[in-house]
Structure 1
Amino acid sequence: MNWTQSINKGLKKVSVGIALAISITGVVQSAELGEPEKEELKFGFIKLTDMAPIAIAYENGYFEDEGLYVTIESQANWKVLLNGVIDGSLDGAHMLAGQPIAATMGYGTKANIITPFSMDLNGNAITVSNDTWKKMKPNIPKMADGRPVHPIKADSLKPVIEEYKEAGKPFKMGMVFPVSTHNYELRYWLAAGGIHPGYYAPHKGDTSGQIDAEALLSVTPPPQMPSTMEAGTIEGYCVGEPWNQQAVFKNIGVPVVTDYEIWKNNPEKVFGITEAFATKYPNTTIRLTRALIRAAKWLDDNNNGNRPAAVKILSQSNYVGADYEVIANSMTGTFEYEKGDKRAVPDFNVFFRYNATYPYYSDAIWYLTQMRRWGQISEDKSDQWYKDLAAKVYRPDIYEKAAKSLIADKIISASEFPDFAKETGYKPPQQHFIDDIFYDGSKPNAYLEKFAIGLKKGDKL
């Protein structure tokens, strides 16, 4: 801790003491939470724009408001990040939504990871190389003013993949991690267009995810996506921003569909900590959740009016490190598909509205259904199994304590949060998917039966 932080830390303790001393009746405001048990924290992130709540909580002083003195460090990849949280070298991190679920389940590394905070909705896209786009474009059924009508479905890619197959060449695409949103969104989009993305068979030692695949998916770290495609190693990829817009700026590829178009207002990243951390440091956990909620709200305030300031912060080399213009292309409410085809997409990145920060059980269950669909869960599980695992990992109880304290402190109004008295943790059945299939998180097995491609009840590789 440096000299300035030491002074701030002392002042923070004095202010908390004053708050306690002057409160004789009623709610003791945030001081009621108690002082943080651990004040010095280190958080990890990957260089993506959806790490923004962590950066803003730091830059706007929200962590310090909670008596937390935070160091933020970028990580080489998602595996390194997860291992850092597990071994304690990181106290928490910006995580793929599937990471805490998979770790708790024991897929890959076994560890009890929880999330009290969902970081954002949407924010990803699928990009293809210029050559693939040139071959896809004639297959797109609708055009308006010379531009494709969105959403573009994978049906238009299917003839391209068949051409590769006839030539004896594999069609390769990149995603960021086997349990990433990107993997499941890319698979969802491909399968909705009749293209098999392949199965996993971990019980047989096969974690390639390429069994029966018509498109071969493999892991590429997010910042390396554009250069890997430019080198011809992959023909396309699914990634978060700014690495789709980077392909447009470099004129090496075309984003063909956003995840908003695959699943409207889908949950994306989460903030992950170990269950042991939350148990040992309950006040610290609630306070860091408060800071992140405030940051998320600031990011969406004034109809995204704070986004240009956020982009300036994110463009710094210690955060995302991409050019301001590249990050702004999606963060400020627009998205560019083909070069010059820039469209208004105000909800491309959502950080707070639509209850984006609430960790819904049904969000966790959706990821679990996709793990089962593609074989990462090898055998059938009961609906109750899905619900129990979701409740172990996603922790709306912690979120609710943080939110209620912010309401009590008159920092955020109750109307901007879910109605906690009625909240079940399950969203109403969702219908805005690219294949028009409804998703009801309370009935995971019935949901799995609806897909033409994917494992169903009784199926085992």
Structure 2
Amino acid sequence: MIRKLLATATVIASLGTTPLHADTFPEIEELTLGFIKLTDMAPLAIAYERGYFEDEGLFVTLEAQANWKVLLDGVIDGNLHGAHMLAGQPLAATIGFGTEAHIVTPFVMDLNGNATTVSNEVWELMRPALATDDNGPVHPISAEALRPALEAFANQGRVFNMGMVFPVSTHNFELRYWLAAGGIHPGFYSPDNTSGQIGAEVLLSVTPPPQMPATLEAGTIAGYSVGEPWNQQAVAMGIGVPVITDLDIFPMRAEKVLGLRADFVEQNPNTVRALTRALIRAALWLDENDNANRAEAVEIISRPNYVGADPAVLANSMTGTFEYERGDIRPVPDFNVFFRYNANHPFTSDAVWYLTQMRRWGQIDTAQEDGWYQDIAQSVFRADLFLEAAQSLVDDGLVPADAFLFDSDGYRPVSTDAIDGLPFDGRQPNAYIDSLPIGLQGDQRVVGNAVQG
């Protein structure tokens, strides 16, 4: 009770007119939330450092995790109350790909924020095939430019390996999308072979994000797809060149989310609303006034207990620019989006896109009806919980009503912004899957090392 009284006093002092009411007190006040050392954990750090968690009566401990599997297991077994998760993790867990558990999200942390980096050796092999202008290589760079590197490696008897952070990560799907759009097969999964390397021209394997630069420098991988600051770190170390960002592959989708166990959400609605409110306020602060707070945010997340990276490296992508080759700095104002463009809304269509990619590469083994994709998406991406928290912030005068899509049906407009130009309509997932030239279509399945059906 003392903690609750203190929490109420904190809210009154900080917000003036919006004290917590007895029936809205968090059921659980002390929470432990996990994260991976990446730029896009920023909403958690900002909600903590600016007191937004305490405003909501929450006493939060933020704990860095070793990798995405450890983080997911921590949420499932209850050692973590929730976590900064890959958008694909709650979906995969819910359908039973990997560890099975019903995980949901009421809040999307960010849009975009990833890039694909290649080693200096691979870059030199790619360079002759690239179009150039006065600014240097013309972007976006097609994966077709990798062909000379693949041939050179094959001629030397070397395997061409690339790193990604987790089998159901955005990074895996983006890297696969880029490769396939350039005519390079990234390989299939099957129930009997979860390596994802069946029929692959490029072998993709898991490497934890903070270990990417060292693994590239050691020569174990020829490139990788990862979030920041680990692409810009390769530039700073002089060991690699980012060749494409996710803005050029398939932009403006959910990247990281707040992942919570479904039973936790049902048992603790006030806690979930409080968490979501705090994170919405943090996201708004990160983007407001045309990113005016980003320099301060960089200083905060550079601390060892958060991302622990050089502030100059973090600032490369967090403040509206991105560095490709050393010295080739270009404006990319939407590389990290935390609030604008309705970034925090858990769109059904974003979840459907992830599920289509799982089906495309065999993580979903058999064909499913369109309605199945929608049902799974809506059971995991909980827009109802997000909008309830958003409405309460509007009611309290903390965020304007026009910042949210209260009348959304859950689907973004049909997108044609992918690197291959193919339209994506989340209402028609099977038609979209069948439009992709590389990958499973229709009733096809992977049996052994072959596609059947």
Give your verdict on TM over 0.5. Answer: yes
Residues 172 and 233 in structure 1, CA contact (< 8 A), matched pair in contact too: yes
Query: Is the Cα contact below 8 Å between 2:361 and 2:440 reproduced in 1?
Result: yes
Matched, 1:448 2:433: yes
Secondary structure in 2 matching 1:225: helix
Alignment of 1:371-386 (within 5 A): 371-386=358-373
| Cα deviation, residue 167, structure 1 | 3.3
Deviations 1:138-178 (A, max 9, x none): 111x2111501111110111232133223332110000000
- Is 1:152 aligned to residue 155 of structure 2? no
C-alpha distance in 2 between matches for 1:264 and 1:18: 40
| Ranges in structure 2 where 5+ consecutive residues have no aligned partner | 447-453
Number of the residue aligned with 1:66: 56
Alignment partners' CA distance in 2, 1:391 and 1:177: 23
Q: Deviations over 1:378-431 (max 9, x none)?
A: 11011011111001101000001000000000000001111x1x2111111011
How do residues 271-310 of structure 1 correspond to structure 2 at under 5 angstroms?
271-310=258-297
- Structure 2 CA distance, aligned partners of 1:338 and 1:276? 47
What is the letter of the counterpart of residue 91 of structure 1? H
Q: Is the 1:158–1:194 Cα contact (8 Å) retained in structure 2?
A: no
2:189 maps to which residue?
Answer: 200
- What is residue 3 of structure 1 aligned with on the other side? none
Corresponding residue for 2:449? none
Distance in 2 of aligned mates of 1:61 and 1:15 = 9
Q: How does 1:65-84 map to 2 (within 5 A)?
A: 65-84=55-74
Match of 2:164 among 167, 175, 194: 175
AA aligned to 2:107 is: F
Q: For 1:157, what is the secondary structure of its paired residue?
A: helix
1:219 lines up with 2:206 in the alignment: yes
Q: Is the 8 A contact 1:91 1:273 kept in 2?
A: yes
Partner of 1:10: 5
Does the 8 Å CA contact 1:118/1:358 hold for their aligned counterparts? yes
In structure 1, how many angstroms separate the alpha carbons of the residues matched to 2:10 and 2:254? 37
1:69-97, Cα deviation, whole Å (9 max, x unpaired): 00000000000000000011100000000
Counterparts of 2:340 and 2:19, CA distance in 1: 24
- The 4+ residue runs of structure 1 with deviation greater than 3 A are 6-10, 13-19, 28-33
2: distance between equivalents of 1:30 and 1:408?
13
CA offsets 1:280-309 (integer angstroms, 9 cap, x no match): 100000110000000000000111110000
**Could you tell me how far 1:368 is from its partner in structure 2?**
0.4
Aligned mates of 1:14, 1:56 — CA distance in 2: 21
Aligned to 1:436: 421
Q: CA deviation at 1:16?
A: 7.0
- Does the Cα contact within 8 Å between 2:187 and 2:361 map onto a contact in 1? yes
Residue 383 of structure 1 aligns with an amino acid whose one-letter code is D
Instruction: Assess, with a 3 A threshold, how the Cα gap between structure 1 residues 190 and 33 changes in structure 2: closer, same or farther.
Output: farther
3-state SS of 2:445 partner? coil
From 298, 314, 320, the equivalent of 1:327 is: 314
Determine the structure 2 residue equivalent to 1:416.
403
Structure 1 residue 30, shift from structure 2 partner: 5.8
> For residue 68 of structure 1, what is the amino acid of its counterpart?
L
Relative to the length of structure 2, the TM-score reads 0.95
One-letter amino acid of the structure 1 residue matched with residue 169 of structure 2: S
When residues 14 and 327 of structure 1 are mapped into structure 2, their CA distance, relative to the original with a 3 A threshold, is closer
**1:261 corresponds to which of 248, 251, 260:** 248
Contact 1:182 1:238 in 2 (8 A): yes
Change (3 A) 1:33 1:368: farther
The answer to whether the Cα contact below 8 Å between 1:63 and 1:69 also exists between their aligned partners in 2 is yes
Are 1:459 and 2:444 an aligned pair? Answer: yes
Structure-2 separation of matches of 1:144 and 1:48: 33
76, 83, 91: which one aligns with 1:101: 91
Q: Does the Cα contact within 8 Å between 1:121 and 1:350 map onto a contact in 2?
A: yes
RMSD of the TM alignment (CA)?
1.8
* AA partner of residue 116 (structure 1): P
What letter is aligned with 2:424? Y
Q: What residue identity is the alignment partner of 1:439?
A: F
Report the Cα offset of residue 17 of structure 1: 9.4
Amino acid at match of 2:171: H
Relative to 1, partners in 2 of residues 1:7 and 1:344: Cα closer, same or farther, differing over 3 Å?
A: farther
Partners of 2:254 and 2:346 within 8 A in 1: no
1:353-364 alignment runs, 5 A limit: 353-364=340-351
Distance (whole Å) between structure 1 residues aligned to residue 332 and residue 200 of structure 2: 32
CA shift in 2, pair 1:320/1:15, >3 Å? closer
Distance 1:249 1:314 in 2: 18
Is 2:153 the counterpart of 1:164?
Answer: yes
Contact persistence 2:11–2:55 (CA under 8 A) = no
- CA–CA distance in 1 between the matches of 2:10 and 2:40? 33
Deviations 1:2-29 (CA, angstroms, capped at 9, x unpaired)? xxxx97753223577999xx99xxxx87
Give the letter aligned to residue 33 of structure 2.
F
Q: What secondary structure sits across from 2:287 in the alignment?
A: helix
Q: What's the CA shift string for 1:177-236, capped at 9, x where partnerless?
A: 00100000000000000000000012xx20000000000000000000001000000000
- Counterpart CA distance in 1 for 2:288 and 2:353 is 29
2:439 partner letter = G
Is residue 29–residue 405 contact of structure 1 (8 Å, CA) maintained in 2?
Answer: no
Show structure 1 runs of 5+ residues with no match: 1-5
CA distance in 1, matches of 2:187, 2:49: 43
> For the residues of structure 2 that align with 1:65 and 1:345, how far apart are their CA atoms?
34
Q: Which moved more, 1:264-273 or 1:176-185?
A: 264-273
